[in-house]
Structure formats: structure tokens, C-alpha cells
């Protein structure tokens, strides 16, 4: 039976001491996962819980998860109870040194957890959801939201007890593929709005990837790759095409701009943005081309 360990220290010193204690107590452990609340070795804050996610992913049916205190597994009593229950339901054994708990030898703790679940009004479904969310913290990364298939690959690597350097290498390869997909979509004329919806990324992250690869950001819209700027006449023509039911993506390709710029024109038509902000200098000085309303003279 594989055994994994997990501990959480307030400081880096606590983390090192607790990890050494678990390693001495369980020399057969495949891996001891540990983290601290320390930030860059100075002071204490809230733990990221990424390492806990790795430990929970490794803990599968038929394995054992050991810790010094059960409270290390959750931020509060409710989360700890839910995670313990869900793990036991999955067939994972729990060992807590200070709490004198070892479900490999005694099943009474499972009964006690069930009573506490009822007292805290936590359903089985909610407990499973809490465990899944805790595991996702370890399977993902801090900066990039990965697709489910990528998360599954990382989860497999973690469960096999891969070293930190091996996990980092796999993660870097996945992130590189992820960024390549973002760049491909940007070059196809899609804006961060569409990319964010499809890949589950924030606009700021998409812009960061673009800058990292040398693409200039259009500061006028703050959400797209720099391309041609749309003047008043361009926007009138685009509005007409939109009114005829043409797709924004097709119009964007025709004008060499991203889709977000076309959506911006739609908002101009609706009157939520003033058209004069996006006129070119030639039309801006000509009173005859100035629209009287957001709809202009269309």
C-alpha cells in the first residue's frame, strides 16, 4: 500500500521540521508533500494550498495519506471534515500522528466523521465538490488556467510521485502548448474576449502572453493586438454589414482587426460609446462627417 505524507508549517523552519518528522516516522512513504504560510521566507500569510492539492491527487483508493494533524488538510473545521469524509469514501486511509488516528487499524473515525458531517450540515455531494476543488489547486498553475485534458495529464504525473523538477518540466511543456494556442487565435483575428471564453483565461493573461512574444497591444482598446484603426467611415460601413447579419469574425478578417474592435462598433451603434473617440484625424476635423447621434447618418 502506497503512503504519502502532507504537512503545513507556519514558517519555513516549521515546514522543514515537520517534514523531517514525517519522513522519520514513515520511511516507506513514496513522497512527503510540505508547504508553509511563509512568503519568500519573511512573515506568514495564507498558504497557496497548491502542495496540498498535489498530496490529495496522489491519495487514491487503496493508498494512505499521513499528516501530523488533520487540521492541516483544511482551512477550517468544515473543509477539513469534508475532505476527510470524501477521502475515506474514496477508499483512502488517513493517519494523523498528534490526533492518534489510523484508519488502517480502526474504522471508528469514519463513523465520527459522519456524525460531524451531519452536525455541520454538509452533504456527501458537497464534500466531494470540496475535495475536487482542493485537488484542482494542485493540478493547475498560478498563472494559466489549463484545459481539463491538461489537468488530467498533470494529475497523472503527480499521482505517480514525480519529482518537483519532473512536474515543472511537464507543466512548462503544457503551458508552452497553451500559449501557442493563444498566439494562433490572436493571429486569426480573434480578440481576448473570444479567447478568454474558449480557453478560460483572463484578458490580462492573454495580453501578457502577447507582450511576452513581442506583439504590440492596442492601447486604444486595451484588449487587442495593434492593427489598423477604424475611422468614422469604416465604422459606418461595419455597422451596415452588421445590420445585414454578417458575422463579426468575418468583418474583422476583412478589415484586419480583432473581433473586439467590431464588438466595439456594435456598442457605438447602441449609443453606449461616443463615435467621435474612434474617428480618424481626417474625418474628425470635417463637420459634415460628424454624426449627430451615435447612429450617425446611417
Same domain (yes/no): 163, 72: no
**Per-residue pLDDT tens digits for 56-93:** 988 989 999 999 999 989 888 999 999 999 999 999 99
Within-domain flag for 294: no
Same domain (yes/no): 210, 249: no
Within-domain flag for 295: no
Most confident of 43-52, 118-127, 238-247, 250-259: 118-127
Within-domain flag for 190: yes
Coil, strand or helix: which one is 10?
Answer: coil
Evaluated on CA atoms 48, 52, 57, 61, the torsion sign reads: negative
**Per-residue pLDDT tens digits for 216-245:** 555 444 444 444 556 677 788 888 888 888
Same domain (yes/no): 125, 199: no
Within-domain flag for 236: yes
pLDDT at residue number 216: 59
Distance separating alpha carbons of residues 41 and 38, to the nearest angstrom: 5
Same domain (yes/no): 90, 16: yes
Same domain (yes/no): 198, 277: no
- What's the pLDDT band for 159 if we cut at 50, 70, 90? confident
Distance separating alpha carbons of residues 191 and 93, to the nearest angstrom: 48
* Structure letter (DSSP) for residue 225: B
Within-domain flag for 297: no
Domain count, the chain: 3
Long-range CB contacts (within 8 A, 24+) of 153-158? 155/57, 158/54, 158/57, 158/58
Q: Which domain holds residue 207?
A: 140-225
User: Cα–Cα distances in Å, from 9 out to 67, 79, 82, 192, 221?
Assistant: 12, 18, 21, 39, 45
CATH of residue 125:
3.40.50.1390
Q: What is the model's pTM?
A: 0.49
Within-domain flag for 22: yes
Helix (H) or strand (E) holding 8: strand 3-9
Same domain (yes/no): 58, 183: no
Amino acid at each position: 500500500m502506497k503512503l504519502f505524507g502532507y504537512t503545513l508549517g507556519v514558517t519555513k523552519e516549521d515546514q522543514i521540521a515537520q517534514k523531517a518528522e514525517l519522513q522519520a516516522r514513515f520511511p516507506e512513504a513514496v513522497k512527503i508533500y510540505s508547504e508553509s504560510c511563509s512568503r519568500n521566507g519573511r512573515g506568514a500569510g495564507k498558504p497557496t494550498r497548491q502542495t496540498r492539492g498535489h498530496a490529495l491527487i496522489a491519495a487514491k483508493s487503496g493508498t494512505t495519506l499521513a499528516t501530523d494533524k488533520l487540521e492541516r488538510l483544511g482551512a477550517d473545521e468544515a473543509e477539513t471534515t469534508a475532505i476527510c469524509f470524501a477521502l475515506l469514501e474514496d477508499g483512502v486511509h488517513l493517519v494523523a500522528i498528534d490526533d492518534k488516528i489510523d484508519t488502517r487499524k480502526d474504522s471508528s473515525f469514519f463513523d465520527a466523521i459522519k456524525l460531524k458531517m451531519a452536525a455541520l450540515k454538509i452533504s456527501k455531494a458537497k464534500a466531494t465538490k470540496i475535495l475536487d476543488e482542493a485537488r484542482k489547486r494542485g493540478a493547475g498553475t498560478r498563472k494559466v488556467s489549463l484545459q481539463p485534458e491538461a489537468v488530467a495529464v498533470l494529475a497523472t504525473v503527480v499521482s505517480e510521485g514525480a519529482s518537483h523538477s519532473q512536474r515543472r518540466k511537464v507543466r512548462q511543456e503544457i503551458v508552452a502548448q497553451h500559449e501557442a494556442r493563444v498566439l494562433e487565435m490572436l493571429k486569426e483575428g480573434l480578440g481576448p474576449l473570444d479567447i478568454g471564453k474558449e480557453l478560460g483565461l483572463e484578458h490580462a493573461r492573454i495580453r501578457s502572453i502577447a507582450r511576452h512574444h513581442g506583439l504590440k497591444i492596442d492601447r486604444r482598446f486595451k484588449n487587442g493586438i495593434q492593427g489598423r484603426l477604424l475611422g468614422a467611415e469604416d465604422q459606418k460601413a461595419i455597422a451596415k454589414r452588421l445590420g445585414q447579419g454578417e458575422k463579426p469574425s468575418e468583418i474583422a478578417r476583412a478589415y484586419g482587426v480583432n473581433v473586439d474592435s467590431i464588438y466595439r462598433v456594435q456598442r457605438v451603434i447602441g449609443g453606449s460609446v461616443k463615435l467621435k473617440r474612434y474617428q480618424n484625424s481626417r474625418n474628425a476635423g470635417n463637420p459634415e462627417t460628424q454624426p449627430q447621434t451615435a447612429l450617425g447618418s446611417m
